[in-house]
Amino acid sequence: MNNHLKFYINGAWVDPVTPATLDVINPATEEAYTRISMGSAADVDRAVGAARAAFPAFTLTSKAERLQLLKRILEVYNERAEDIARAVSDEMGAPMAWARDAQTWAGRVHLEATIAALEGMAFESQRGSTRVVHEGIGVAALITPWNWPLNQIVCKVAPAIAAGCTVVLKPSEIAPISGIVFSEIMHAAGTPPGVYNMVNGDGPSVGQAMSGHLEVDMVSFTGSTRAGIMVAKNAADTVKRVAQELGGKSPNIILADADLESAVRKGVEGCFGNTGQSCDAPTRMLVPRALHDQALAIAKQSAEGHKVGDPQADDTVLGPVVSALQFQKIQHMIEVGIQEGATLVSGGLGRPEGLSRGYYVRPTVFGGVTPTMTIAREEIFGPVLAIIPYDTEEEAIAIANDTVYGLAAYVQSGDLAHARRVARQLRAGQVNINYPDWDTHAPFGGYKQSGNGREYADWGIHDFLEIKGIVGYGQE
């Protein structure tokens, strides 16, 4: 017996107020493999009410008590790791190796990073006669996406709990089963009733009710910029805090002194990782014009080495994209790239050869892309790379910054000091030099229309804290 048709509210699995269901589609088969219940404003009211009732006691718990809870959650998470990986593979088509080593791993390391950050945090300090206190903001509504489900769930739930908040989570209805498994983990870890609640549903029915709810103090949202704007507008009437991690069109500047072979190959891999469904993917590769043709040859060879196919096969590198809608959007963008005159280097329209079913996309590379082309400006969210030639370093920086987004940027150079100088000039919340390892203690979040606020480790905890000044606290 699973909990797919239930919500987790006030420490128990409960039925929705009004029965309504949605099929969950396996994108590798295009067939429904389970159903979830779809919530309503009434379900949100129940969940928020439980979180509000639990907040006064939970926010007064000690740091040691919250650390103990997070460590129990991590322990159970590790015990359920294979269940998480299986859920992610089924719901979003991730190859099992990727589901284990990237998706499930991400949730684990963010729990570890939050625990480490909380251990080193001080929530009170003295400034003259004033006591400065950092305390949980209250009830937090958490709305997470389908592309990195565990990463984003943990990046919100863990710091909220570390801060002493209570939460209501809405996972994506497209990839909801990993969120249900996570809710089972929270229950098994002994999370106090009402501290963590989960309601499934779509944005208009549940997300909107959460972001506009009078008893919600903060909304943390990850998703598209379009949806983020709607969340912020809906939250404005109650003047609640809104933290957002939104879209991206991240530039990857390969400088003339970089190792071109390695820089291009790793850039293709970075763009295609998670089947291109990452908001911080390096989707715009900028290369010196004199090296453009050479870069295209390297990118073509790399792209054609990415085996697309059954997520359960051991040699699969890329699975399907998550849905029919996403598949159609990517096909449209590839067609637009061709129509606007970009050079199709590899891939293109339709499924890869030999695949007649499933939302599989051909790993696609365009060359000769100009900064005004649609594929250079709009987020595609699939395995599609745009390679843009530039004449001067100053031009490359200007092209990189000429976007409404500012989530991430990448710089490749054989001279670290050179890369650092360029990194300083890029308008993005996170700049990566020479493809470093994922740093779960670095701040993550965007400039411009890529959002506001920061996630990961102590940066994430601070987003869920209010600051209180108790003036006269230190009087004799």
Instruction: State whether 171 and 228 are in the same domain.
Output: yes
Say whether 116 sits in a helix, a strand or coil: helix
Q: Based on the domain organization, do 85 and 189 belong to the same domain?
A: yes
- Whether residues 211 and 272 fall in one domain: no
Position 2 in a domain = no
Catalytic residue among 155, 184, 279, 455: 279
Two structure tokens written together for 352: 């890869």
Residues 6+ apart with CB under 8 A from 424: none
Helix ranges, 134-291 (H): 149-163, 177-188, 208-211, 225-236, 260-272
Q: What is the distance between the terminal CA atoms of the chain, rounded to a whole angstrom?
A: 63
d(CA 332, CA 458): 40
Q: Same structural domain for residues 225 and 270? A: no
Whether 242 and 256 share a structural domain: no
Residues 183 and 170 in one domain: yes
Is residue 271 among the annotated active site residues? no
As separate numbers, helices (DSSP H) first and strands (DSSP E) second, the chain gives 16, 20
Task: Output the six-digit token pair for 464.
Answer: 């869920």
pLDDT at residue 347 in the model? 98
**Catalytic one among 245, 271, 379, 455?**
245
**DSSP strand E in 357-426: where?**
364-367, 384-390, 408-412
Q: 298-333: buried (b, 16+ CB within 10 Å) or exposed (e) per residue?
A: bbbebbeebebbbbeeeebbbbbbbbeebbebbbeb
- Does a structural domain hold residue 172? yes
What's the pLDDT at 261?
98
Q: Which of 248, 278, 63, 327 is nearest to 151 (CA)?
A: 278
165 is catalytic: no
Token readout for 207 is: 């997300």
Inside any domain, residue 1: no
User: What is the count of structural domains for the chain?
Assistant: 2
Taking the CA atoms of 143, 144, 150 and 156 in sequence, report the sign of the dihedral they define: negative
Which CATH number is 314's domain given?
A: 3.40.309.10
> Cα-flanking dihedrals φ and ψ of residue 399, to 5°?
-65, -45
Give the Cα separation of 281 and 287 in Å (integer).
Answer: 17
Give the count of beta carbons closer than 10 Å to the beta carbon of residue 42. Answer: 12
Domain-embedded: residue 458? yes
> What pLDDT, on the 0 to 100 scale, is given for residue 214?
98
* 475, part of any domain: no
Indicate whether 382 and 264 sit together in one domain.
yes
Same domain? 242 vs 366: no
| Same structural domain, 291 and 216 | no
Considering the domain architecture, whether residues 149 and 24 belong to the same structural domain is answered as yes
Q: Same structural domain for residues 155 and 298?
A: no
**Domain around 181:** 7-246+450-470
DSSP state of 291: G
pLDDT score recorded for residue 476? 59
Provide the Cα torsion 156, 161, 167, 171; round to 10°.
30
- Helix locations, 59-126, DSSP H: 63-79, 81-92, 96-98, 105-119
CATH code of the domain covering residue 84: 3.40.605.10
- The string of DSSP letters for 463-474 reads HTEEEEEETTTT
Per-residue confidence of the chain (476 residues) as pLDDT tens digits? 799 999 999 999 999 999 999 999 999 999 999 999 999 999 999 999 999 999 999 999 999 999 999 999 999 999 999 999 999 999 999 999 999 999 999 999 999 999 999 999 999 999 999 999 999 999 999 999 999 999 999 999 999 999 999 999 999 999 999 999 999 999 999 999 999 999 999 999 999 999 999 999 999 999 999 999 999 999 999 999 999 999 999 999 999 999 999 999 999 999 999 999 999 999 999 999 999 999 999 999 999 999 999 999 999 999 999 999 999 999 999 999 999 999 999 999 999 999 999 999 999 999 999 999 999 999 999 999 999 999 999 999 999 999 999 999 999 999 999 999 999 999 999 999 999 999 999 999 999 999 999 999 999 999 999 999 999 998 75
Q: Is residue 20 part of a domain?
A: yes
| 258 domain residue, yes or no | yes
On whether residue 476 sits in a domain, the answer given is no
Is this prediction's pTM over 0.75? yes
Residues 17 and 159 in one domain: yes
Nearest to 451 by CA among 406, 387, 401, 389: 406
